Amino acid sequence: MAEAYIIDAVRTPRGIGKQGKGALAAEHPQHLAATVLKAIKDRNNLDTATVDDVIWSVSTQDGMQAGDMGRMAALDAGFDITSSGTTLDRFCGGGITSVALASAQVMSGMEDCVVAGGTEMMSLTAAMAQEKMRAGIKPPMMGSYNERLQAVHPQSHQGICGDAIASMEGFTREDLDAIGYRSQ
């Protein structure tokens, strides 16, 4: 079986995730993703014609985050038009899932070179939710308005779930802040 290697890792600065606030709030999410992809290309002298696929994660595929972020950001970054792209959604685990799928494609022999990552503009998703609420559209619960699923498996936002799990497992706010600090 072929080996898969992570050659480089790039990220944008982390924003504050508040609508209209912060240096990145006015950026288009495809531009942020393209910035990362262009850095990968430039730092590694990558011939993008050799990139078989760009796997990108976006949890809220709506508005400016819709329309196959993987493909559109690759084109915006100047990747060769022969490089394909796809977008997946696995909530907060999407970026690492993109990397795992890219590795699996290479290890299986299906692809030789895959670029993976993710984008989520939290300030933008909040703005979209507010816009829909003003228009009288109820924001979806997890499960996309599926009342049958909600009745059998009630779903909560991941932030609420994370807080509940931390409480049940006895993690304090200070414990979690320390973990967050070390992970940056």
Q: Are residues 148 and 59 in the same domain?
A: no
Least confident of 20-29, 54-63, 92-101, 141-150: 141-150
Lookup result for tokens 């990220």: 11
Confidence of residue 149 (pLDDT cuts 50, 70, 90): confident
Residues 178 and 106 in one domain: no
10 domain-assigned: no
Residue 86 has pLDDT above 70, yes or no: yes
| Across 108-136, average pLDDT | 82
Instruction: Find the mean pLDDT for residues 11-32.
Output: 80
- Tell me: pLDDT of 144 over 90: no
Q: How far apart are CA 101 and CA 136, in angstroms?
A: 38
CA angle (126 as vertex; 167, 75 as ends), nearest 5: 115
CATH number of the domain bearing residue 116? 3.40.47.10
User: Whole-angstrom Cα distance, residue 133 to residue 95?
Assistant: 28
Which residue blocks in 44-136 are alpha helix, DSSP H? 69-76, 94-107, 122-134
In the chain the first and final C-alpha atoms are separated, in Å, by 34
Q: Which of 127, 148, 163 is the last residue of a domain?
A: 127
Q: Does residue 146 surpass a pLDDT of 80?
A: no
pLDDT band at 180 (very low <50, low <70, confident <90, very high): confident
Same domain, 89 and 163: no
On whether both 117 and 145 belong to a single domain, the answer is no
**pLDDT attached to residue 9:** 95
Residue 70 lies in a domain: yes
Q: What is the dihedral of CA 88, 17, 132, 98, to 10 degrees?
A: 0
Whether residue 151 sits in one domain with residue 119: no
What is the span of the domain harbouring residue 151?
A: 140-183
How high is the pLDDT of residue 147? 76
How many domains is the chain built from? Answer: 2
One domain for residues 55 and 123: yes
Q: Are 158 and 91 in contact (CB under 8 A)?
A: yes
Question: What rounded mean pLDDT belongs to the chain?
Answer: 87
Considering the domain architecture, whether residues 52 and 81 belong to the same structural domain is answered as yes
| 6-21: average pLDDT | 81
Q: What is the pLDDT at residue 36?
A: 96
Last residue of one domain, picked from the residues 106, 127, 148 = 127
- Same domain? 146 vs 121: no
pLDDT number for residue 145: 66
The pTM of this model reads 0.78
